[in-house]
Structure 1
Amino acid sequence: MSESMTETHPLHPFLPSNARLLMLGSFPPPQNKWKMRFYYPNFQNDMWRIMGICFFNDKNHFLDLNNKKFFQQQIEEFLTEKGIAIFDAACEVIRLKGNASDQFLQVVQATDLSALLNKIPACHSIMTTGDKATDTLMTNFPKDTPKPQFTAPSQVDFLDRSLSLYRLPSSSRAYPLALEKKAEIYADFFKNIGLL
């Protein structure tokens, strides 16, 4: 395995000290797709549209439409106020096809979950966005830990705390579900954990 093929995560974890929820994606897209130096930076990814619909009833709330980019400071302030931490389930990957597709992402090293959770002591919920992120997250737990499903979260004891694990649809447009339907699922989730 060539060292030059391996990509290390380019962002620091976003860990507000009051975080009650940790959101984990798989890995950022190639940097030529970025519209900000933060999570879900591809303008074609719908995460910030989903958040806009859920919390402000406006899919464009976090979007700078004139410049086709995002309002990063507004996003960070919102996440801090709500107590939402973000990172990715993998910290080192190889892109088998050079694109952002999870299907062609080979995880070299999973993120050290304990290092993240030690910095956010109030966090008891982890949500993954997509199957690759979920599978990678599960490598942190005993093999018999049930994998969360869309309709059924799972529980695990980890680092002397009880964690609820949730699996939500990917915010990528490659995932075949309408934006409004994804936002509905996310809104139900946020209500369920007391953030909405």
Structure 2
Amino acid sequence: MEIETHPHQPFIPSSIQILIVGSFPGKDQAQEGKWFYSAPRNQFWKIIEGVYEKHLTTTKEKQELFSSMGIGMADIILKAKRKNNTNLDQNLEIIEFNDIALSKILQQYPQIKVFFTSHFVEKHFKKLFPSFKNIACLPSPSPRFATMSLINKIARYKELLPMR
């Protein structure tokens, strides 16, 4: 098992109000043109397209939308080894957390609201930042979270994300 390093810096627009924190990129996301949540089966961008009723095909379009909405993105893990060659969070051996970058973001934007893409991420965030309380957990965009339909995930995200 080789150690993988996160291929992306956190995305922090100047108007940030919300930070969405995920776990770690899928195994094919270091490729050119791939950005956060670009694993083929991950539903994140389908959910966001449903929330904002926009078709998002490029990284630039995604970044422009999130900048206009004050939404940033980062992941909780900086370095990991992948067990069983899968994208499942439970198959990640965490080598290093992304706590330095996250700490800087939380210090620079103390009023920020942090949303997690899974309870796995929430658990680790709470261990790293036990005093930070402006948090909530989104329904997981993973296709493995099949107890909630895509339509219901979109509805829940709509309740939580800014709609200006």
The normalised TM-score by structure 2 is 0.87
Structure 1 stretches lacking a partner, 5+ long: 63-69, 143-155
In structure 2, the residue matched to 1:164 is 134
Instruction: Name the structure where strand makes up a greater proportion of residues.
Output: 1
In structure 1, the residue matched to 2:16 is 19
Instruction: Name the structure where helix makes up a greater proportion of residues.
Output: 2
Aligned residues: 160
1:180 to 132, 138, 151: 151
Aligned to 2:134, what secondary structure does the other structure show?
Answer: strand
* Aligned amino acid, residue 76 of structure 1: Q
Distance 1:104 1:51 in 2: 26
Aligned to 1:31, what secondary structure does the other structure show?
Answer: coil
Question: Are the counterparts in 2 of residues 95 and 106 from structure 1 also a CA contact under 8 Å?
Answer: yes
Which has the higher Rg, Structure 1 or Structure 2?
1
Question: Are the counterparts in 1 of residues 4 and 80 from structure 2 also a CA contact under 8 Å?
Answer: yes
The normalised TM-score by structure 1 is 0.74
In structure 1, the residue matched to 2:115 is 127
Aligned to 1:139, what secondary structure does the other structure show?
Answer: helix
Q: Which has the higher contact order (CA 8 A, sep 6+)?
A: 2
The alignment yields a C-alpha RMSD, in angstroms, of: 2.0
Q: Sequence identity, in percent? A: 26
In structure 1, the residue matched to 2:106 is 117
Distance 1:141 1:171 in 2: 23
* Aligned amino acid, residue 135 of structure 2: L
Structure 2 stretches lacking a partner, 5+ long: none
